Structure 1
Amino acid sequence: MPAALYALALGGFGIGLTEFVIMGLLPEVAADFGVSETVAGYLISGYAIAVAIGAIIFTAVLSRLDRKKSLLFLMVLFIIGNLLSATGPSYELVMVGRIVAALCHGAFFGIGSVVAADLVAPNKRAGAIAFMFAGLTIANVLGVPFGTLLGQATGWRSTFWAITAIGVIAFIGILVMVPNNLPRSASKGILSEFGIFTNPQVWLSMFITILGYGGMFGAFTYIAFTLTGISGFASSTVPWLLVLFGVGLFAGNIVGGKAADKNLPKTLITLLIILTLILVGFALTASNQIATIAALVLMGGFGFATVPGMQMRIMNHADHAPTLASGANIAAFNIGNALGAWIGGLTIAAGLGYTSPLWAGAVITLAGLAVLLIATRVRGGEYATVSTKTLAPLGTH
């Protein structure tokens, strides 16, 4: 893999850490500012909303600029945002820091996906995108548990100081390792870029992402309740069980990328079928601890294995503006996260028990599969069956 991919992966690691580590630090943040845990939780939802907004706006604005400079600008935003989180004397300033950091999230992965694809041969693009997203998965495997331990031991602000330092290192890595001669978008302006949304396949790809990924994330959102309330694990073991989930994410991301490079539509269809079955199996066996551990790893693996393929699908259908399409799909991932969590919460509130988010996740994922099958049959869907080996380099059309 080109050295530049390591710099992109490090940036992804820092961004993933920023997004998820706050979950383990909410009690400390709430106590420090004297707010309820519900109010402290707005630091998570505020971040997610800003990701979806920034993914579209920043990607569109930066899409015609030099991609390396765009990535460097986004890392500067990331550094400023986390510096505000580390030093903000009030809850409101920390929220501003979270929003500033989040604005770079979608655009970084959107632009970074295109850059990663441009750095390798056509038949290795999904694998290159998966390599960049590996930083995000590693953040779940190692970054979140250790970031939480650091924040609990030396104060929650120390974690954000550490993330700020990671951002500085990633900035230097991108500056030094990412080539200067990256291809630019061939579109004629922002309005031309937004023309991709006249293609039904772009919208179908986003719906596939919202449903296909949202089902897994909705189940994951309430997994701690399932593990303690149904599987019988002690709450102290939950962080380490989530590490196993993160291991699944990491492995699935790499394997899914390689499979998507060989046959994109077949890979996505197969993964969504298996993920649906895993969620159903998890719901049926959640009272068995051994089965739960296996299902947790498999849910993470097959859930995140869809990510490289979902990114490639929308980029293939928007070849004249792949950067905006990629950013829009990052927004779709976050919409899926919110949708899955909302529906999972409704099932619990309805008194259906702590396995109900798993059942809801299976239904949502199955809906994503249905949209995918329909998308391959409507006008333009035949392009989804073209191997990525036959596509011209992204950004050169």
Structure 2
Amino acid sequence: MKSLKVQSFILISIGFILGMSEFIIVGIINNLADSFHVGISNVGFLVTMFAIFYALVTPILTILVGEHRLKRVMLLLLSIFTISNIMTAVANSFLILSLSRVLNAVVAGITVSIAITFAAVIAPRDKRAWLISWVFSGYSVASVFGVPIGTWISDQIGWRWAFWLIVLISVVITGMFMVSLPGNLRQGKAKSLGEQFSLFKDPRILLGICLPILNLGGVYVVYTYLRPIVTSGLHFPTSFVTPFLFVFGLASLFSNQYSGRLANRDGLKSMVTVFGIQAVTMLAISLLFGLPWAALAALIIMGLTMYLLNSPMQIFYLAVAEKDYPQSMVLASSLISIFNNVGIAVGSATGGVLFNHLGLKSLGYSGAIYTVVALVLLIVLNRVRRRFD
């Protein structure tokens, strides 16, 4: 039970269950607001809080991993992840719900980072970008199937059952990981914490970490409030939310998969065009509120572009670390997930403020601003990269 196909399936499944647990809030935001008698923006803040803790704690845990066997670390992390979802399922107050999401966020970042490290090691070099893109695609598969199914369960029999489903899947994945992945994998030895963090002295890395922040910062201004946009802004019925989330998830799955293809042919150059399209799409979302179906089409296009940066950026981080900072491989593997979540925190917080003060129509405009800044920095990064080639 140790073939590459089986190991790949397990690593992708880890991405799936992490994504389902993180993204399910978007689909059940109204249900949670009703259950705990809080405002929608308060539940939206759970997304911001999750992302903040994810981004802050992941690099610290990455350092603490040190030379420990990554398989043992992963099994511990998956166990804590399961416990956090049990806490969510039984939460009897918004405080307990919030604490369970914090615990979930604390382990989620390092979990996906180690999964990516395993992917980079077990895959042949010519399949590395493919497998890494599929680990990220586990999140998109969660958007296609996990979030719509969880949303449907929440609407039909209660949101707690959606988290019990996540617990069940987590237990199965943990067992499969335990018997299938190699047990001798460790990251390179570092002489000090400063040596691991020396990665951040590289100007390519410093510019590179800004891109996922701005990319998902722009997207999550809108995405966090997708359900209110569809129902309150565009006036579609609640029953329309689940099928729309399914279609949006398909778009994001394509985004992750095509991201892998971009990575195989220097995708950072192609992202200049992608960011241009994304900025126009963001503007269209706000401008087309009077044309609901056109606005939905713009939302789907946003889904098609939102993850295209992932694999090119991840391959870029790993290439820099492998050549110049081998002691920081796990840290490099975690950068895209860390700074994606910084972007999620920035975007969801921005969306919450705009939602409360300016309304749903303002969200797309703000998202476009973030994307335009990302486009400018990408052009600068591509010029800096040429100096190191």
TM-score over 0.5 (shorter chain): yes
2:185 to 177, 182, 186: 182
TM superposition shift of 1:14: 1.4
Correspondence 1:192-203 to 2 at 5 A: 192-203=195-206
Cα gap change, 1:259 to 1:39, in 2 (>3 Å): closer
Cα gap change, 1:213 to 1:240, in 2 (>3 Å): same
Alignment partner of 1:370 is 2:373: no
TM superposition shift of 1:159: 2.0
5+ residue gaps, structure 2, are: none
Cα gap change, 1:10 to 1:63, in 2 (>3 Å): farther
TM superposition shift of 1:107: 0.8
Correspondence 1:82-161 to 2 at 5 A: 82-161=85-164
Corresponding residue for 2:249? 246
- Alpha-carbon separation, structure 1, partners of 2:40 and 2:352: 17
Q: Which moved more, 1:88-97 or 1:26-35?
A: 26-35
Cα gap change, 1:265 to 1:49, in 2 (>3 Å): closer
- Alpha-carbon separation, structure 1, partners of 2:333 and 2:187: 15
Percentage of matched positions with identical amino acids: 29
5+ residue gaps, structure 1, are: 387-397
Give the SS at the match of 1:355. helix
Letter in 1 for 2:154: G
Query: What's the CA shift string for 1:309-352, capped at 9, x where partnerless?
Result: 2222222233321211232332211111122233344555564x
Corresponding residue for 1:336? 343
2:240 to 234, 237, 242: 237
Corresponding residue for 1:56? 59
- Alpha-carbon separation, structure 2, partners of 1:238 and 1:157: 19
Cα gap change, 1:358 to 1:208, in 2 (>3 Å): same
Query: What's the CA shift string for 1:177-216, capped at 9, x where partnerless?
Result: 2223435324334332111111122121111111122212
TM superposition shift of 1:21: 1.7
- Alpha-carbon separation, structure 2, partners of 1:375 and 1:247: 30
TM superposition shift of 1:64: 2.9
Q: Retained in 1: the 8 A contact 2:274–2:305?
A: yes
Correspondence 1:380-395 to 2 at 5 A: 382-383=387-388
Give the SS at the match of 2:307. helix
Cα gap change, 1:155 to 1:280, in 2 (>3 Å): closer
Q: Retained in 1: the 8 A contact 2:45–2:352?
A: no
Cα gap change, 1:345 to 1:127, in 2 (>3 Å): same
- Alpha-carbon separation, structure 2, partners of 1:343 and 1:336: 10
TM superposition shift of 1:128: 1.2
- Alpha-carbon separation, structure 2, partners of 1:223 and 1:216: 11
Corresponding residue for 2:367? 361
Give the SS at the match of 1:179. coil
Scaled by the length of structure 1, the TM-score of the pair is 0.86
Corresponding residue for 1:310? 313
Q: Retained in 2: the 8 A contact 1:348–1:357?
A: yes
Q: Retained in 1: the 8 A contact 2:147–2:245?
A: no
Cα gap change, 1:276 to 1:167, in 2 (>3 Å): same
- Alpha-carbon separation, structure 2, partners of 1:230 and 1:43: 22
Q: Which moved more, 1:218-227 or 1:364-373?
A: 218-227
TM superposition shift of 1:382: 4.2
Q: Retained in 2: the 8 A contact 1:213–1:306?
A: no
Q: Retained in 1: the 8 A contact 2:49–2:345?
A: no
